[in-house]
Chains A and B, each alone.
Chain A
Amino acid sequence: MVAPRRSAATLQAMATTCQRCGTRPATIHVTEVALQGGHAEAHLCNACCQEAGWTPLVPPPPVAELVASPADGEATTPDESADEPSCPNCGLQFSEYQQVNLFGCAHDYTRFAESADELIRRWHGALQHTGRRPGEDAPDAGEARRAELHTELAAAVSGERYEDAARLRDQLRQLDGGT
């Protein structure tokens, strides 16, 4: 079977997961058209598209199509818009995020709350975290505690901290119902 050779590529905005990294939103839809007929499709994020060496025939409108600028409905780049608001903490402008899908700091979620919330709602279908908070135990607290003690024990033995190791071993016995 002859692998299709790319003779043309069309790009358009998509709202799915990048097939290459599997994590970032796919913002570019690539169609490979074989010279012998037939075609293959790929959905990629900006970073993976560039890494794969695909050059858009037309400038990709990645996240811009999902969140239109309230001013004129078109996305702008940092170079084009010196007046565009930026984060006072990291200097990021929202149009920069639209290009790379990476915020500069946690404060950006507050600074660009309106636009960010729209992206978050579209991607997750939710705007409220319902999972663990820092420091909270695992869903199965007993199992997690046991795993934690085992790892701490291994680290203590590895570091020749034998008093700590003895204490951890006792805690494990207690957890397992021993004395």
Chain B
Amino acid sequence: MSDIAGLGSTPAPWLGSPGEHGGVVLSSRIRLARNLEGWHFPRKLPPARARTLVEKVAEAAARACPGRLVRVDRLETSERQLLVERQLVSRELAAAKRACGLWLGDDQRTALMIGEEDHLRLQLFGPGLQLEKLLADAVALDVRLARDLGWAFDDRLGYLTACHSNLGTGLRASVMLHLPALAETGELKAVLRALEKLHLAVRGRFGEGSEPQGHYYQVSNRRTLGQDEAGIVASVHAAALRVIEAERIARESMLANDAQRNRLEDKVWRAWAVLTSARVLSSEELVDHLAWLRVGLALGVLNTLSHRPTWATLDRIFVLCQPAHLQAAHPAATDSVWRDRLRAELTRTWLTADAGRN
């Protein structure tokens, strides 16, 4: 656990703020895909070359961004899973058998994936809706890295990437949104269809079915070529604002309707009851109930509590009660029965700790 010691017991320092959009936006992310000029893309790299790649990029990263290298291919399965749960690395990087790495910035908002499908995936994260700021920081970091690393670039196709879907800017701008009211009122499908028509990609944060758990959705640009970086970010930002507004209207319409308000309040209070009482909690159950506590907190449903939870507490439970996080912080919790009991205990404890402070 030495490489990533500590991650299992603390959420990212930048989490815990509700942001300016009433808890509808969880976080923003900017990603730039880059490859070294003259090198085969990672899938075709011989093993020795893949090791050199990790060292070369890590050396440049050390000069450009204070942080540390995590050799992902040398981690235990549960440790790799922890990085996936934290969304620092993709499932593909976590599953890679060749030499690969993660350069994790000291601020934990900068994460460079080395040797995934492209040589470098430069990622920056932040709370709330702040794509422009993240883009500026990402480009500044890209400029610093480019002093040591020459990027594969073509006048016509832009930054060259292993998959044609990332060509051009190599930029993916994503916003994580929480849309339970749109889901409840049945308007979500129409909203998601409208986003697809705008060439935006939408996927659930948890699960792959038509109704992801907790109704967390990531909205991002699908096209990366033919529009400049500022234009891409502006279009995702504008679409996110429209979805946020639609969610806000759906929430208000639920509150304005007696039967719907009753249903919403019931869901929030049931979530509160379960999370403060349960002795066994699966990951799925926790995600669902926490989602309703977020709604309750945002809409003031929980205001009658003298000891309502804070956003930071909800985020702390959300992150630290994921399976690999639990296992990292509590090595004895190796099977799901243990983890479900531990998850219930920690959730109760942290929600009650808020009660003690209020």
Tell whether A pairs with B: yes
Q: Considering the chains assembled together, what is the distance between the CA atoms of A23 and B210 in angstroms?
A: 18
Contact of A109 among B37, B132, B151, B154 (CB under 8 A): B154
| 0/1 string, A153-172, CB within 8 A of B gives 1 | 01100100000000000000
Residue B166 CB within 8 A of the other chain: yes
Residue B273 CB within 8 A of the other chain: no
Contact present for A103 and B41 (CB under 8 Å): yes
Residues of A within 8 A of B159 (CB): 129, 134
Residues of A within 8 A of B227 (CB): 126, 130-131
Contact present for A147 and B156 (CB under 8 Å): no
B149 to chain A, nearest CB (A): 9
Counting contact residues on chain B (CB < 8 A from A), the size range is: 35 or more
Given A22-B218, A101-B163, A120-B157, residue A138 in contact with residue B210 (CB < 8 A): no
Residue A8 CB within 8 A of the other chain: no
Given A24-B165, A128-B226, A139-B136, residue A151 in contact with residue B156 (CB < 8 A): no
Counting contact residues on chain A (CB < 8 A from B), the size range is: 35 or more
Residues of B within 8 A of A106 (CB): 35, 37, 41, 152, 154, 160
Classify the interface of chain B: helix, strand, loop or mixed.
Answer: mixed
Residues of B within 8 A of A89 (CB): 40
Q: Which of B89-97, B246-254, B262-270 contacts A (4 or more CB under 8 A)?
A: B89-97
Contact present for A20 and B203 (CB under 8 Å): yes
Residue A68 CB within 8 A of the other chain: no
- Most chain B CB within 10 A, of A19, A92, A106, A135, is at A106
- Most chain A CB within 10 A, of B41, B44, B166, B172, is at B44
Contact present for B136 and A40 (CB under 8 Å): no
Q: Which of B51-59, B73-81, B138-146, B323-331 contacts A (4 or more CB under 8 A)?
A: B138-146
Q: Considering the chains assembled together, what is the distance between the CA atoms of A128 and B220 in angstroms?
A: 21
In the complex, chain B residues 155-170 whose Cβ is within 8 Å of any chain A Cβ: 155-160, 162-169
Contact present for B40 and A132 (CB under 8 Å): no
Residues of A within 8 A of B106 (CB): 154, 158
Contact present for B154 and A151 (CB under 8 Å): no
For A124, the closest partner residue in chain B by CB is B225
In the complex, chain B residues 59-100 whose Cβ is within 8 Å of any chain A Cβ: 63-66, 90-92, 95
Residue A84 CB within 8 A of the other chain: no
Known: A102-B43, A104-B44, A147-B137. 11 other contacts (CB 8 A): A20-B208, A32-B209, A102-B163, A120-B225, A123-B222, A125-B199, A129-B155, A138-B135, A144-B136, A151-B64, A154-B106
- Of all A-B residue pairs in the complex, the 3 with the closest CB atoms, nearest first, are A126-B226, A129-B158, A138-B139
Interface positions of A (Cβ within 8 A of B): 16-17, 19-25, 32, 40-42, 44, 47, 51-52, 89-92, 100-106, 109, 116, 119-120, 123-140, 143-145, 147-148, 151-152, 154-155, 158
Interface positions of B (Cβ within 8 A of A): 35, 37, 39-41, 43-44, 63-66, 90-92, 95, 106, 117, 132-133, 135-137, 139-141, 143-144, 146, 150-160, 162-169, 171-172, 174, 196, 199, 201, 203-204, 208-210, 218, 220, 222-230
